[in-house]
């Protein structure tokens, strides 16, 4: 497929393939439109491609760059012990994005946005971030030799701020919520000659998320799962996962069949899309974020209404879970699969648990849970739940402690 224009998701107005992020008619978000959508793509062509997300270049709006970080082909892990713990008889998998260069799925979207920024001649990268995007943008800038300017809420986890700064980026801790940060970056985008990856480059950035779905299908033998559980912040990742499966099927890569049921997950402290779904409403009412799932803390999600449509069209759900459930989800995933997730992954596992408890998943189904970031980025979430056992350097002392534990 060849990118042909940017199109408004609200009113369908079209724009050139430049650095535009909102429709001037209705202020709706823009996305990439392709000439000859559904053009056939051979599985052999994909298999012959690089071991990165660029093996799916036929589905992306920009050519692979000559340099950059190796992003993509993250593991799809069979999670039988997790399934057993939840009383599930299904074929359960965890797709973990922790293997990417900065340990989150944001490396994918930044790779595509940065490639387009270079094509358009920008000489710096920038972003508004709830955390993971900060590190991904800073790392991409370092790899491409571009300066990076990062804007985050001042109360963001310190680990994520330090990680972004380590790449040499200039990190600005903004007083206020992510929505305040995003408004600031929207203003700066008009004043500074920087490629804001999730503002001016957002249409291209969002396309990178489709590669998670295409990879999942390839790793399952070119079939889509029956159900997906994915986190929702802006709603872009969630909707693009569905689009990836649908475009893969249209191109003949993915076996025929219905789309997977899309189950979305939000933390209760910032759950405007889940609230709209529960109310049966088409209106996503903005909220002031709170809670431990800071990487999902977008109170006014740009793609919220499109996430609602995806859930309803596929027979899925969008649900919210409390902080305690999130922490339990982190521990459950780690103890049954060896995958340590940040709070966003705890949200998805907690929603998976809810689906299991009400019998929503059949034994015959294949289910994929998406883990979008590494637990080392939100280590504070477990600070009150885990600890080391102090002992002197004595085998007898260890035996004594173990004896006390087993009594």
pLDDT tens digits for range 359-396: 999 999 999 999 999 999 998 999 888 889 999 999 99
* E strand residue ranges, 123-216: 125-128, 148-153, 170-174, 195-196
pLDDT at 158: 87
Distance, in Å, from the CA atom of 68 to the CA atom of 117, rounded to the nearest integer, reads 13
pLDDT in tens, 272-323: 999 999 999 999 999 999 999 999 999 999 999 999 999 999 999 999 999 9
**What 8-state DSSP symbol labels residue 226?**
S
Which CATH number does 106-208 carry? 3.40.50.1100
Residue 311 contacts residue 262 (beta carbons within 8 Å):
yes
Residue 327 contacts residue 346 (beta carbons within 8 Å):
yes
**pLDDT exceeds 80 at position 407:** no
Q: Percentage of residues in the chain with pLDDT exceeding 70?
A: 100
**pLDDT exceeds 60 at position 196:** yes
What mean pLDDT is predicted for residues 43-59?
Answer: 97
Handedness of CA 301, 284, 180, 346 (dihedral sign): negative
Q: Which of 143, 107, 150 is nearest to 126 (CA)?
A: 150
Q: Which residues pair with 119 in a beta bridge?
A: none
Q: Work out the pLDDT band at 28, boundaries 50, 70, 90.
A: confident
Give the H/E segment covering residue 133: helix 132-144
The domain limits of the chain are 76-103+209-382, 106-208
pLDDT at 245: 98
* Per-residue burial over 212-242, b = 16 or more CB atoms within 10 Å of its CB, e = otherwise: bbbbbbbbbebbbbbbbbbbbbbbbbbbbbb
- Measured in residues, the chain has a length of 407
* Per-residue burial over 92-117, b = 16 or more CB atoms within 10 Å of its CB, e = otherwise: bbbbbbbebbbbbbbbbbbbbbbbbb
Classify 95 as helix, strand or coil. strand
* Per-residue burial over 251-262, b = 16 or more CB atoms within 10 Å of its CB, e = otherwise: bebbeeeebbbb
Q: Which of 310, 312, 322 is nearest to 351 (CA)?
A: 322
Give the H/E segment covering residue 189: helix 178-191
Considering the domain delimited by 76-103+209-382, tell me its CATH architecture.
3-Layer(aba) Sandwich (3.40)
Equal fold, 76-103+209-382 vs 106-208: yes
Classify 164 as helix, strand or coil. helix
Q: Which of 346, 335, 334 is nearest to 292 (CA)?
A: 346
**Mean model confidence pLDDT for the chain:** 95
* Per-residue burial over 145-184, b = 16 or more CB atoms within 10 Å of its CB, e = otherwise: ebebbbbbbeebbebbbebbeebebebbebeebbbbbbee
Q: Work out the pLDDT band at 171, boundaries 50, 70, 90.
A: very high
Task: Enter the pTM of the model.
Answer: 0.94
Q: Percentage of residues in the chain with pLDDT exceeding 90?
A: 88
């Amino acid at each position: 497929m060849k990118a042909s224009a940017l199109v408004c998701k609200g009113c369908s107005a079209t724009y050139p393939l430049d650095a535009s992020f909102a429709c001037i008619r209705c202020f709706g978000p823009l996305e990439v439109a392709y000439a000859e959508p559904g053009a056939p793509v051979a599985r052999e062509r994909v298999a012959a491609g690089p071991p990165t997300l660029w093996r799916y270049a036929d589905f992306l709006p920009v050519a692979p760059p000559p340099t950059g970080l190796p992003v993509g082909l993250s593991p799809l892990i069979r999670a039988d012990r997790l399934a057993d713990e939840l009383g599930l008889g299904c074929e359960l998998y965890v797709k973990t994005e922790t293997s990417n260069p900065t340990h989150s799925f944001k490396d994918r979207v930044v790779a595509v946005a940065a490639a387009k920024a270079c094509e358009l001649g920008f000489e710096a990268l920038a972003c508004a971030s709830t955390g993971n995007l900060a590190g991904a943008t800073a790392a991409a800038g370092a790899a491409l030799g571009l300066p990076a300017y990062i804007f985050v809420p001042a109360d963001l986890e310190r680990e994520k701020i330090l990680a972004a700064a380590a790449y040499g980026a200039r990190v600005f801790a903004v007083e206020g919520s992510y929505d305040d940060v995003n408004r600031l970056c929207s203003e700066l985008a008009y004043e500074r000659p920087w490629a804001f990856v999730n503002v001016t480059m957002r249409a291209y950035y969002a396309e990178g998320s489709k590669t998670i779905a295409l990879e999942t299908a390839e790793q399952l033998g070119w079939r889509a799962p029956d159900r997906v559980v994915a986190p929702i912040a802006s709603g872009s990742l969630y909707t693009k996962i569905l689009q990836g499966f649908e475009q893969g099927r249209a191109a003949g890569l993915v076996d025929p069949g219905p789309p997977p049921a899309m189950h979305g997950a939000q933390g209760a402290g910032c759950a405007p899309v889940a609230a709209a779904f529960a109310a049966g409403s088409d209106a996503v009412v903005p909220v002031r974020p709170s809670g431990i799932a800071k990487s999902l803390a977008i109170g006014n999600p740009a793609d919220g209404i499109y996430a609602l449509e995806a859930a309803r069209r596929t027979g899925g759900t969008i649900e919210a879970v409390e902080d305690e459930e999130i922490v339990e989800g982190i521990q459950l995933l780690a103890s049954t699969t060896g995958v340590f997730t940040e709070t966003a992954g705890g949200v998805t596992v907690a929603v998976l648990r809810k689906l299991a408890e009400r019998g929503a998943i059949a034994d015959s189904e294949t289910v994929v849970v998406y883990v979008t970031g590494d637990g080392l980025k939100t280590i504070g979430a477990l600070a009150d739940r885990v600890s080391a056992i102090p002992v002197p350097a004595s085998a007898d002392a260890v035996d004594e402690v173990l004896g006390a534990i087993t009594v």
